Structure formats: structure tokens, C-alpha cells
């Protein structure tokens, strides 16, 4: 059975709301952030629709944003792997061609012994970050490959290597701690040895170029090359657009061929953008970052507030009268763990033929008993299409 | 995504408690044995953790102990097949090498017409069983293969054939009923024809060797050869040990490379063994047989008592302060069926990052609503590792 053979166009509108890192983990002491939030509008969607729990990559597996979003888009994250370099490049609108190697770089502060003393080089502002990046552009010259540097934000830069015979199979050089030197550039396959030598030389030149700066070192993560992902519109028969304030999420959306509508940070501006483009698309991916950021910061109250902030614009979304709304997350980010976790993510599907279940509140303990059950996240895309009446019957 | 790539060591301790045949099947007249049991300590673990139901090999499939345990260890039982012969050999500490053929033999009583009158030959005691086995050793001489006999327990013996050109693809000769003769030795593949002839001759010699004894016949089950199973420690990064009173369970554990700590029959001695070796291992597989034995015997009250007996030592386990405890079973053995069944098995996961759900009792009707949902048994191993903090994030 090929989903593509079942597609039928009917003019319906679908919206996927991703509250990044939405899932939590209740403890004996406290409910999850979503359970604790006052979110009457999300609760109303739960009443009007069906609910459940989803797992992006199976039992016990904690995923990053890349695989989490691919799963939400209905792409098996085991089949389509994305490195941080690829995601960053896509987020900046930089096209990688086959053979290129991209990596996410973090400017850091090194002491006289070469040990990392600040993993974020004092979080340079946009101007300072761009100035340091410009120094890299001017100071690094490699034999056999061209090195491009792009400033992403704060201490984060994107490195793109273009040339012949490059291989992305290199280990991260970011030790992710202070008091130690950056890791050696280590090839993970024999074919990547010459690329490892090239990057070793690059890192050396970076230190020369940035000598005396607060950001005087560069650690690299997520070496990757270009990936061909099946086109979302071809795959699902919907014209798709993205509203996301953060580059990485615009990146993963553009990698599957979605249009990127803009990058406003305020939820109200995001709704305005949806409204302006409402007639131009069939499917909208709306990304809300604040839930995950608060989770990473270990700030339970901020995560609750981020849920409540999104709840506040749900009536504006409903007013646009989408046929089908899904609210879910790419993974869990319980504040008590200050990072991603493996816990299933509460999810609702409202509208079209979805029907209702008995769940009256949006939150883990209620959604567990909902009509969607516990499913792989990849099931949401066919469920959305089905609820919207966009899937024909299979077989006689 | 390879689970192995995500492993991280953190010194945590994991315990898998297998109450063999734990699952039951409620009827209109009565709850399951576990639901009926007074098990306050297991209930407390359910309160403190999350619960659900697991299936060893998918919907409707009743499994034996081998596949049931492989699933609990996270090995797909479809991928790794184990015959009874292999399990028995492993349980006795007998190493099979590639090319060997092993089978489980049951001594039986045959009448003058060659019909089975007692499938267990009066259940000989250890001494009598060993005496009969010695007669087999002395009385059987084959052309082209060496036949080893090992007494297992009561009427059960292990047959190991070693030689050139042997093939384990033979059907069981045990008709599993009385009043009929043992089945002919039947090859299941052309390549196994000469082995079938060899075993036919062996069975003939066995009858001569045991003539006049109460155990005067031998029926054979589970012909199999050696299997290479991936090493548990290599696979999951934990040093693993087993506490199991029955050879078959020690066998399946040793086949995946777990250490076997000993074989005491009393639960108190088993706890003592855990305590003595607590610092030496990261993962303990603790096997409790009595639930299944009672299920096989169709003895509902005994199965309830077997649950309650295990419940009695749960506080001792908790006192050892494992980071993560799983309580589950390899399959269901409802007493009303006097054997294994396909019903899902109630399961709890407590500790680490597992969190809590709203389930307050350990039993099928409560676990069904728990946070673990209904899952394949193979999901328990990644969930245990995840809860223990032993799995890194996948993807950027």
C-alpha cells in the first residue's frame, strides 16, 4: 500500500502545531508542565477531537529536533538521517550539493593551555558574531577545499566545506564541557581520513585568525552532507508552508520542500502570517519554540507559561477555520531533566472525520486514555490526511 | 539508528524480575491471579512507577520460555530462534559447537505393544534418573556420530549428537499423549534424512538398553543446533548476571553471555545472592518459576500464592536500591488453561526517569491504563536503559 496512491484533493486546510519539547514526565511530587498549565483553549480542542500519545522513534529513544520533526512530517527518522550541519545550513537557506560537508561550529574561549573556559565565548551579539565570522572567512585558506563560514546566532556558526573527495564521517570535536581542550578531529571511516586532516588544519588556522579574541576557538558538531528528502507536496498532495521563528525548524521544513513564510518571534505576528497566507496553502507547520527552550533551561514555570502563551492564540487559529488541527511535539523536554527525554508526547487531532473521545483535557494523564492510543509519531501525518478526507479507500 | 551507538555508562543498577507465566486472563467469573493476589509491595512499585502490558511475539501468539525470555532481553524472538535442545544444553552448562544436534528427551513407559502408558516414566528421582541415563550412555553406540546423554531432572534427559553431516531439522517424536506409540523420526528437510536414520537407530538401541525398566522408552523434542547470540554486555553496555533456580532460564541467560550466580530455590536465598553480587554487576535477571509451574498445573490458588511469595521479597529488593526495576513475565500462563497463553503480560517499570502514572495496583485491569501502554516485550530493554539514563539522544 502506497499512501501516495490514495491521495485525493478536496481543498481542506490542515495545521500542524508543534509545541517543541511538549512532553513531560510526571513525578510523585508534581504533574507534567502541560497537565499543570491553564490551557482552556487546548482543552477545548481535546474535547472537540481525539487524543493520544506519540513516540518519535520508539520506546526509550530520546530524539533531537531533526528526527522529531521528520517523524511529525511522516518521514521515518530511521530512514532519513539528518546531521546538525545539514539542519543549520537549511535553516540559513544555504544549499548543500552532494559532496559538500557541513558542520555546526561553536565559538568558544580557550585559555593559554588550550583548555575551554567558556563554551559559548560569552555569547557574542549579532554584530560581534558577524565580525568574528568575517575574521574566519579572511583567515582560513585550505588546500583542496573551500571553507565557507556563516554566522547563525550568538556563538554559533555554520561551516561548509566544498571540494573534491570530502567525507562527512568525522566525530564531533566539541567535548561539551569546560576545563578540557577541544577533541581531535577523528575520522569515523577510512575514507574520511583526508577530510579529517583538512579540518585539523582548518581548526589550527581558526585559532590563528581569532588569536586575542574572546571567541578564540571553534568546536565542531554534526558533520554531515547534503540529503535528498522526498518532497512533502509530492508525497502528500498538499501545498505546505512553515511559520517558525528558529532557523533549524525552518531548515527541516525547507529540506522537505515546504515554503517558509517568515520568522516573526511573537505568536500574534505568527498568527497574522498564517492569516495572510491562508488561501495560498493546504498545510501549515507552525512551530512554537518556547516550550522546549524552557525545558532546556530547567524552568518549569517558564514551560508552563509557554504552553499558556500558545493556548492564548488557539482561538485565533480556530477562527481561521482549519479543517484539521493537530497539536503535538517533536519530543519531550521535561523541565526536571533540563533537556530532551524519551517520554511519549501528548497529542490531539481535531476536526474533519476525527470525531471525539471522552478526554476533556489536554495533558499526558488524560491523553493516555484517548482514542489515538500510543503510536509512532509518523502515524500523525496519515491520520491528519484521513481526518481531512484526503485519503481514498484502499482495496475493493 | 543503532541502540548500541547511544549507550552511555553511568553506574546505574537495573533489575529485571521475571515472574514466569505472570499473565492471566480474567473471565466473567473471576479476576486474573495477579489481580486476585494480595501484593502490596508490587502495588507500591506500580504506584511509584509506570505500568502497561507487553506481548512477547505480537497479537495472538503464545510463546515458549525461550522466545519469551529473548524478548525480555530485547532480542527479537523472530530473528533469534532457540530450540528446546539448545536451551536445555545451555541450562546444563554444556557447550554446543556448530554441527552438533541437541534435543530434549523424555523417558516414558511403553507397554508391550509399544504404546505410551506414562509420559513421565513415573517421574524418576535424581538417583533413578541418573541410573537410567547411565544405561543409555553404556547401551547406545552409533555409526557416524557420538551420542551424549545428560540427566536433566526427573524424566528429562538431554541428547547431544556430535559428528559430521548432522542436521537438526527433525520433527518431535513426542506425541504428547498416552495410548499411542512414539512418533517416527521424521526429517523436515532432505539434508536431514541421514540424521533421521541415525536417530531412528538411536531410539531402537535405547529401547534395548532400557528393556525391563519403568522408563523403557525415549521421546524427543526440540531438535536444534548451536546458536550464536549477540552478547548482552556488548549489546547493552551492562555487566549482567542471573539468579534463576531452573536450568532452562540459566541456559537462556548464559546463551546471551550473562553470568549465572547460582541456583538456590528459596526466594530468600535468591535475594541473598543478589545482595552478595550487587557491586559486581549492572544488570540482574531474577527468575521466579513458581507462577508458571502453578499455571501449568491449573492451580489458581498456587499461582496466586506464588505471586504473593514474590511480593514478600520485594522490600528486600527495594532495599538494595536499584535505579530501575522492571517486573514482568515471559508470557501468560492462566491457571484455567493449564499452560501458556497469548494474553498480554502486566508490566511495571519503576525508577530513574520513568516517572509515575495514575495506576495504583499491579494487575492486568489496572496496568492496561498505564503510561507504558500495550507494547512488544522487546521494548522493555530500551525503556529500562532509558529510564536508567543509559541512552544518549539520537540526532541533532
Residue A263: predicted pLDDT: 84
Residue B247: predicted pLDDT: 83
Is A337's CB within 8 Å of B358's CB?
Answer: no
For A227-274, write each residue's pLDDT tens digit: 879 999 999 999 999 999 988 899 899 999 999 998 899 999 999 999
Cell numbers at B216, concatenated? 523403557
Residue A262: predicted pLDDT: 85
Instruction: Tell me if chain B has a CB within 8 Å of the CB of A78.
Output: yes
End-to-end alpha carbon distance in chain B: 13
Query: Pick from A59, A83, A104: which is nearest to B379 by CB?
Result: A59
For A162-202, write each residue's pLDDT tens digit: 999 999 999 999 998 899 999 999 999 999 999 999 999 99
Are A362 and A39 spatial neighbours (Cβ–Cβ below 8 Å)? yes
Tell me which residue has cell 494480595.
B38
- Chain B residues with CB-CB distance to A374 below 8 A: 373-375
For A9-29, write each residue's pLDDT tens digit: 999 999 999 999 999 999 999
Is A61's CB within 8 Å of B395's CB?
Answer: no
For A78-132, write each residue's pLDDT tens digit: 999 887 788 888 878 888 888 999 999 999 999 999 999 999 999 999 999 999 9
Are A31 and A363 spatial neighbours (Cβ–Cβ below 8 Å)? yes
Give the span between the Cα atoms of A192 and A224, in whole angstroms.
Answer: 12
Are B215 and B107 spatial neighbours (Cβ–Cβ below 8 Å)? yes
Is B394's CB within 8 Å of A62's CB?
Answer: yes
Residue B395: closest C-alpha in chain A: A64
Cell numbers at A199, concatenated? 579540518
Residue B396: predicted pLDDT: 75
Q: Tell how far CA B309 is from the center of its chain.
A: 20
Give the span between the Cα atoms of B227 and B229, in whole angstroms.
Answer: 6
Is A222's CB within 8 Å of B396's CB?
Answer: yes
Give the span between the Cα atoms of B213 and B132, in whole angstroms.
Answer: 8
How many residues would you count in chain B? 396
Residue A338 in this model has a pLDDT that exceeds 80: yes
Instruction: Tell me if chain A has a CB within 8 Å of the CB of B375.
Output: yes
Are B395 and A82 spatial neighbours (Cβ–Cβ below 8 Å)? yes
For A275-319, write each residue's pLDDT tens digit: 999 999 999 999 999 999 999 999 999 999 999 999 999 999 999
How many residues would you count in chain A? 396
- Pairing verdict, β B145-153 and A324-328: unpaired
One digit per residue, pLDDT tens: chain B, 396 residues?
889 999 999 999 999 999 999 999 999 999 999 999 999 999 999 999 999 999 999 999 999 999 999 999 999 999 998 877 788 788 787 888 889 999 999 999 999 999 999 999 999 999 999 999 999 999 999 998 999 999 998 899 999 999 999 999 999 999 999 999 999 999 999 999 999 999 999 999 999 999 999 999 999 998 998 887 999 999 999 999 999 998 889 989 989 999 999 889 999 999 999 999 999 999 999 999 999 999 999 999 999 999 999 999 999 999 999 999 999 999 999 999 999 999 999 999 999 999 999 999 999 999 999 999 999 999 999 999 999 999 999 987
Q: At B285, which helix (H) or strand (E)?
A: strand B283-288
At residue B383's C-alpha, the angle toward residues A300 and A291, to 5°, is 25
ipTM computed for the complex: 0.86
Chain B 340-369, residues with CB within 8 Å of chain A CB atoms: 353-358, 369
Average pLDDT over residues A334-355: 98
Residue A160: predicted pLDDT: 95
Query: Pick from B383, B385, B394: which is nearest to A64 by CB?
Result: B394
Give the span between the Cα atoms of B325 and A392, in whole angstroms.
Answer: 46
Instruction: Tell me if chain B has a CB within 8 Å of the CB of A77.
Output: yes
Residue B94: predicted pLDDT: 87
Q: Give every CB contact of residue B29 below 8 A, 6+ residues apart in sequence.
A: none
Percent of chain A with pLDDT over 70: 100
Is A61's CB within 8 Å of B379's CB?
Answer: no
Instruction: Tell me if chain B has a CB within 8 Å of the CB of A51.
Output: no
Give the span between the Cα atoms of B378 and B61, in whole angstroms.
Answer: 14
Chain A: closest CA distance from residue B392 (Å): 7
Instruction: Tell me if chain A has a CB within 8 Å of the CB of B382.
Output: yes
Amino acid at each position: 500500500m502506497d499512501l501516495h496512491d490514495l491521495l485525493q484533493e478536496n481543498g481542506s486546510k490542515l495545521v500542524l502545531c508543534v509545541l517543541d519539547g511538549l512532553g513531560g514526565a510526571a513525578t510523585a511530587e508534581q504533574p507534567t508542565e502541560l497537565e499543570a498549565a491553564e490551557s482552556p483553549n487546548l482543552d477545548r480542542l481535546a474535547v472537540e477531537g481525539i487524543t493520544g500519545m506519540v513516540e518519535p522513534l520508539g520506546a526509550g529513544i530520546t530524539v533531537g529536533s531533526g528526527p522529531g520533526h521528520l517523524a511529525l512530517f511522516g518521514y521515518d527518522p530511521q530512514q532519513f538521517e539528518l546531521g546538525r550541519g545539514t539542519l543549520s545550513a537549511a535553516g540559513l537557506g544555504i544549499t548543500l550539493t552532494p559532496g559538500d560537508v557541513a558542520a555546526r561550529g561553536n565559538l568558544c574561549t580557550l585559555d593559554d593551555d588550550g583548555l575551554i573556559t567558556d563554551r559559548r565565548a560569552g555569547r557574542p551579539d549579532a554584530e560581534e558574531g558577524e565580525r568574528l565570522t568575517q575574521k574566519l572567512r579572511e583567515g582560513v585558506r585550505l588546500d583542496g577545499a573551500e571553507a565557507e563560514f556563516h554566522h547563525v546566532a550568538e556563538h554559533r556558526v555554520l561551516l561548509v566545506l566544498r571540494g573534491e573527495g570530502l567525507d562527512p564521517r568525522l566525530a564531533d570535536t566539541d567535548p561539551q564541557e569546560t576545563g578540557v581542550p577541544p577533541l581531535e578531529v577523528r575520522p569515523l571511516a577510512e575514507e574520511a581520513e583526508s577530510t579529517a586532516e583538512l579540518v585539523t588544519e582548518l581548526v589550527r588556522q581558526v585559532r590563528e585568525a581569532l588569536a586575542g579574541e574572546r571567541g578564540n576557538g571553534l568546536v565542531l558538531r554534526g558533520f554531515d552532507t547534503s540529503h535528498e528528502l522526498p518532497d512533502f507536496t509530492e508525497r502528500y498532495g498538499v501545498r505546505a508552508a512553515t511559520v517558525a521563528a528558529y532557523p533549524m525548524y525552518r531548515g527541516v521544513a525547507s529540506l522537505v520542500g515546504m515554503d517558509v513564510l517568515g520568522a516573526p518571534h511573537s505568536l500574534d505576528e505568527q498568527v497574522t502570517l498564517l492569516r495572510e497566507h491562508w488561501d495560498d496553502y493546504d498545510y501549515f507547520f507552525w512551530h512554537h519554540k518556547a516550550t522546549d527552550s524552557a525545558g532546556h533551561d530547567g524552568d518549569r514555570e517558564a514551560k508552563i507559561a509557554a504552553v499558556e502563551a500558545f493556548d492564548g492564540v488557539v482561538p485565533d487559529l480556530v477562527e481561521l477555520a482549519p479543517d484539521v488541527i493537530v497539536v503535538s511535539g517533536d519530543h519531550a523536554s521535561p523541565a526536571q531533566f533540563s533537556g530532551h527525554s524519551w517520554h511519549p508526547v501528548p497529542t490531539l487531532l481535531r476536526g474533519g472525520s476525527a470525531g471525539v473521545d471522552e478526554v476533556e483535557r489536554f495533558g499526558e494523564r488524560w491523553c493516555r486514555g484517548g482514542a489515538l492510543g500510543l503510536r509512532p509519531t509518523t502515524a500523525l501525518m496519515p491520520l491528519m490526511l484521513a481526518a481531512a478526507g484526503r485519503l481514498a479507500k484502499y482495496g475493493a
